[in-house]
Structure 1
């Protein structure tokens, strides 16, 4: 028997390995081509941390790019975290839009990582002309001079940042139509101007001696500054929900409320109302706890699923709570 015949019978030869290698090379080539096609044909992606800014960004972007919002409806921006998949999405975006000023406390490190990897990021709060906390004005103890991250409660500041977000999208998301982005931003800015006018008219119903606010935590400083209210305190004496009040904090707040004649506490609907209820007990009843949507949008159809609807719902609830109507 010849050597060639012996190799054939033993299954030793070069034809099969060559065939296998050729097949593997073809598979790798096909996978690479598919990946390149997907990347080339995929739509640009913008990732936004909070759902309030996500709603505004979607209004500006329209159909020009995909907008991924990380924060779920009814979540607390101070405490929500990211899955591994969401963290990876940040580094795959062309632009990351985030609140900043310490708001997304569990997410900012992922935003930093995306920036370090070369992703464009935009801290909206820093560009909004932030106010600072002042203890003398009822602000949180220990946070004197620190920036207040809750700028969206002032619709005029949202009007300002609408144009700034549009600038960032046009600069960093190369495939969008700048004219369409500008047109969307201008249209939305007009709606924000209408919102401001409506809020001014609505708050005009609240008498001067009823324009004092007590909230679940310090979140309405911008609204108070814009529309002429006074924040006399908060159940959680901080700009973040991660803090908690002491007995002396609650006692000081009840004394301030008694002095100002305030019998209404506004509590965010996404946070437990237990502390507000404790305050009501401390004051012997007669205190109303009114729910607001101050830091998160609701699920679709639940009354505050867009920024505009959230602000109108909050304004109506505040006017009712302060006037007793």
Structure 2
């Protein structure tokens, strides 16, 4: 399945309650008869929890509002990886400080599911950056591909309740279908001349590919927030913004927006800086605590920001 040819399996079942367990804490009540799934990022953690429901125990390593490029895990968490029944990671170079621990656990016999292995990968839309773009979750179609592959992986595990997994996956795919329809309708209302994105760094390439946006540029060159822009980068981007006349630029919630504010002050036009939740979910009591809600908030903010 590819992003351009979405197919969704619908079911009447309701979505199972999430079993998300936040980073820094071992699962409170690991069941001896349920498999233990350890997930790196909190976005994938939410997806895995929706599919697994109460058929598995889920531990998520990345805390809310963290940066997936730079978060680290404790020695206790690293030791836990080898004992997991399945390690779920994003891949494509995203978890820069955790990959070595995952590889070590896999060498010791831990089973891995790398989400990036199950999608149609695109390259960074930049002259400065090269390599695969790991931010596939900005396109719900790629999440469909991940859910379908994850369902297959989990139902093949002999100790798991495959019927529960199939029911949960079908219900979650129906939710993603609805999300995709909402995003398509909302983005269609943006004037054609405004369908351009300027962000902290290259994170919306898949969204741009799926929903026909142009990526004008980024404040931070490359695909990682660990890079830094030069004065020439800022000057070039300021020129691009002035040329295209975009009414808003976007800053990610997982990174301070100081650089993008500096850029806005250097562009001799009024331009809004809109915060998006692009690389991390928020806490449970905040507005982007699940993948679905995060995407809905971002869709509304992008649409409003570019429709002025």
TM-score by length of 2: 0.88
Deviation, 1:127, is 1.2
Q: Which residue of 1 aligns with 2:245?
A: 261
Q: Aligned to 2:289, what secondary structure does the other structure show? A: coil
Match of 1:284 among 268, 271, 276: 268
Query: Aligned in 2, Cα 1:246/1:171: closer, same or farther, shift over 3 Å?
Result: same
C-alpha distance in structure 2 between counterparts of 1:90 and 1:284, whole Å: 51
- Say if 2:30 and 2:36, in contact at 8 Å, map to a contact too: no
- Say if 2:45 and 2:60, in contact at 8 Å, map to a contact too: yes
Q: 1:276-307, CA deviations, whole angstroms, 9 ceiling, x for partnerless residues?
A: 11001111351211000000000012100000
Q: Which residue of 2 aligns with 1:77?
A: 68
Query: Aligned in 2, Cα 1:94/1:280: closer, same or farther, shift over 3 Å?
Result: same
Deviation, 1:270, is 1.5
Q: Which residue of 2 aligns with 1:219?
A: 203
Match of 1:158 among 129, 143, 165: 143
Match of 1:126 among 102, 106, 117: 117
User: Does residue 100 of structure 1 match 2:91?
Assistant: yes
Which moved further from structure 2: 90-99 or 258-267? 258-267
Match of 1:236 among 220, 229, 244: 220
Match of 2:159 among 156, 167, 175: 175
Equivalence map 1:289-304=2 (5 Å) = 289-304=273-288
C-alpha distance in structure 1 between counterparts of 2:31 and 2:304, whole Å: 53
Deviation, 1:312, is 0.1
Return 5+ residue gaps in structure 2 as ranges: 1-28
- Say if 2:31 and 2:57, in contact at 8 Å, map to a contact too: no
Q: Which residue of 2 aligns with 1:149?
A: 134
Work out which of the two has the higher radius of gyration on C-alpha atoms and give 1 or 2: 1
- Higher RCO (CA 8 Å, separation ≥ 6 residues): 2
Q: Aligned to 2:132, what secondary structure does the other structure show? A: coil
Deviation, 1:263, is 3.4
C-alpha distance in structure 2 between counterparts of 1:321 and 1:286, whole Å: 13
C-alpha distance in structure 2 between counterparts of 1:41 and 1:257, whole Å: 56
Structure ranking higher in helix proportion: 1
- Say if 1:140 and 1:237, in contact at 8 Å, map to a contact too: no
Query: Aligned in 2, Cα 1:285/1:257: closer, same or farther, shift over 3 Å?
Result: closer
- Say if 2:200 and 2:220, in contact at 8 Å, map to a contact too: yes
Q: Which residue of 2 aligns with 1:206?
A: 190
Return 5+ residue gaps in structure 1 as ranges: 1-37
Match of 2:59 among 42, 56, 68: 68
Deviation, 1:43, is 3.3
Match of 1:248 among 232, 242, 247: 232
Match of 2:299 among 297, 307, 315: 315
C-alpha distance in structure 2 between counterparts of 1:40 and 1:53, whole Å: 22
Q: Aligned to 2:54, what secondary structure does the other structure show? A: coil
Match of 1:272 among 256, 264, 274: 256
CA RMSD of aligned residues (A): 1.5
Q: Aligned to 1:63, what secondary structure does the other structure show? A: helix
TM-score by length of 1: 0.84
C-alpha distance in structure 2 between counterparts of 1:89 and 1:265, whole Å: 41
C-alpha distance in structure 2 between counterparts of 1:39 and 1:228, whole Å: 44
Deviation, 1:245, is 0.1
C-alpha distance in structure 2 between counterparts of 1:41 and 1:67, whole Å: 13
